[in-house]
Amino acid sequence: MKIKNLHIKEFKGLRDISINFEKNDELLDLLVLAGSNGSGKTRVLESILKYFQDYLDYKQNNIEVGIFYEEKEKNCISNVQNFFYGLKNFSYHEVNNPLYEIHIEIKNKLDILPKIIYVPTEINFQKMNVASTTLVQEYKFINIVNTNLIKDIPSYIATKMISAMLKNKNEKVGDVQKKVFNEINEIFENLSIDVKVEDISQDGRNITLFTNSSGDEFDINELSSGEKQLFLRTLAIKMLNPENSIILIDEPELSLHPRWQQRIVDVYRKIGKNNQIIIATHSPHILGSVKKENIMLLDKDDEGKIVVKTGDELYDSYGQPTERILEDIMGLKTTRNQEIFDKLEKIREMVNEDKYETDDFKKEYGDLKEILGTMDEDIMLIDMEIQIRRKGLKNVKNK
């Protein structure tokens, strides 16, 4: 199940916005929403979530979503509420409008059902004291990664280890355990992270234990804020076993080192099978890690209306330096401190007005050179411009 297109008539201030999730008639499995604060990135994610929540309750709203279903889904999807909650063979008949009627029939069911997974920006990570080794996961179509879901992660890992041991009774316990932990750690292998899942506590709590390259051992509660964001948000998605699902992630860069931000998209793409990932982000590091066809830029026109710019209208950010992405895609005037930028602009203006010999210029430019140094790129360009102007003036006098 993937989204083909989204049209928002009106939702939390967003009006008449259309987003196409296809490129050259191929569905995108990754879409990154970028834009300034207030441009509506988070609201787009929320609108998708709201659509499916309302669809299940048969409510009308101002959000239209075109959906692509996998072949197996086509054979058994009908009324979404009955399909995802009944999971049994049935025939369903409903008259939605006197002008037409819908007849739906489900003849088989899927082994792994698609899901909607929403990962919000703010997640409260509470202390985890005890993990169960018999976690029972009931299927839900809509899943929100929150405190209640996060707290099950240690139980998920402990249950996964016990289950693997029961399935592989002829193997040594240590070997089975290692396979389980390797499966988890492999998700993060391209991050060059200095922390990995290593064991389950033997004190009866069954809490996940981590180690680092120094050999230090610590439990899941002692991870740094960045490590918690990375491990717990990611493992929460993995715990839901997504396949043919839609995963909505708001600001995955939160608390992450820029090095991890550059590679976090690859981490999420390794989870599950055939999923569609939709990300809202402020991170130029994330934008620099994906192709332009996977980027949608939300911007405001001269009248303040939110408009969507697609990959064809955007500068290709893939592999480009952060500074260019910030300026060319995200519309930042400068990557410098604003005060320094304003001083440089004033200095350039004075040079253009041929005031570079005045005392005021010499004082302000001298102060700026002390801050930035004489080898700063902008300082060197200003020096060159002054030299050119002086040389031009000298040539004029000689004539």
The answer to whether position 95 is within a domain reads: no
Measured in whole angstroms, the distance separating CA 222 from the mean position of its chain's CA atoms is 25
CB of 146 within 8 A of CB of 152? no
Amino acid at 69: Y
Note if the pTM is more than 0.75.
yes
- Residue 179 is encoded by which pair of tokens? 């396979």
The answer to whether position 212 is within a domain reads: yes
For residues 345 and 321, membership in a common domain is answered with no
- Residue 312 is encoded by which pair of tokens? 């064809």
Domain boundary among 236, 266, 282: 236
Among 162, 223, 174, which Cα is nearest to 196's?
223
Residues of the chain falling short of pLDDT 70:
55-60, 72-111, 311-332, 334, 393-399
Place of tokens 């391209």: 190
Q: What pLDDT sits at residue 26?
A: 85
Q: Report the alpha-carbon distance of residue 3 to residue 22 in Å, rounded.
A: 9
CB of 216 within 8 A of CB of 246? no
Enumerate the β-bridge partners of residue 19.
Answer: 6
For residues 249 and 226, membership in a common domain is answered with no
For residues 324 and 342, membership in a common domain is answered with no
- Secondary structure (3-state) at 276: strand
For residues 187 and 267, membership in a common domain is answered with no
Q: Which domain holds residue 15?
A: 2-70+244-328
Neighbours of 384 (CB within 10 A): 10
Q: Report the alpha-carbon distance of residue 54 to residue 59 in Å, rounded.
A: 5
Within 8 A by CB and 6+ apart from 27, the residues are: 2, 4, 21, 68, 276
The answer to whether position 103 is within a domain reads: no
Q: What pLDDT sits at residue 324?
A: 65
CB of 79 within 8 A of CB of 87? no
Q: What pLDDT sits at residue 327?
A: 64
Domain boundary among 174, 206, 236: 236
For residues 271 and 298, membership in a common domain is answered with yes
Q: Report the alpha-carbon distance of residue 80 to residue 78 in Å, rounded.
A: 6
- For 207, counting Cβ atoms within 10 Å of its Cβ (0-12 exposed, 13-18 middle, 19+ buried), the class is buried
The answer to whether position 80 is within a domain reads: no
The answer to whether position 84 is within a domain reads: no
Chain mean pLDDT for the chain:
80
Q: What pLDDT sits at residue 9?
A: 87
Among 308, 258, 316, 309, which Cα is nearest to 286's?
258
For residues 298 and 391, membership in a common domain is answered with no
For residues 141 and 220, membership in a common domain is answered with yes
Domain count, the chain: 3
For residues 131 and 209, membership in a common domain is answered with yes
For residues 291 and 366, membership in a common domain is answered with no
The CATH number of the domain where 253 resides is what?
A: 3.40.50.300
For residues 138 and 225, membership in a common domain is answered with yes
The answer to whether position 93 is within a domain reads: no
Amino acid at 324: R
The residue count of the chain comes to 399
Domain boundary among 236, 269, 287: 236
User: Phi/psi at 364 (nearest 5 deg)?
Assistant: -65, -40
Place of tokens 């072949």: 71
The answer to whether position 359 is within a domain reads: yes
Q: Report the alpha-carbon distance of residue 59 to residue 80 in Å, rounded.
A: 13
The answer to whether position 342 is within a domain reads: yes
- Residue 257 is encoded by which pair of tokens? 């080192």
For residues 191 and 131, membership in a common domain is answered with yes
For residues 232 and 250, membership in a common domain is answered with no
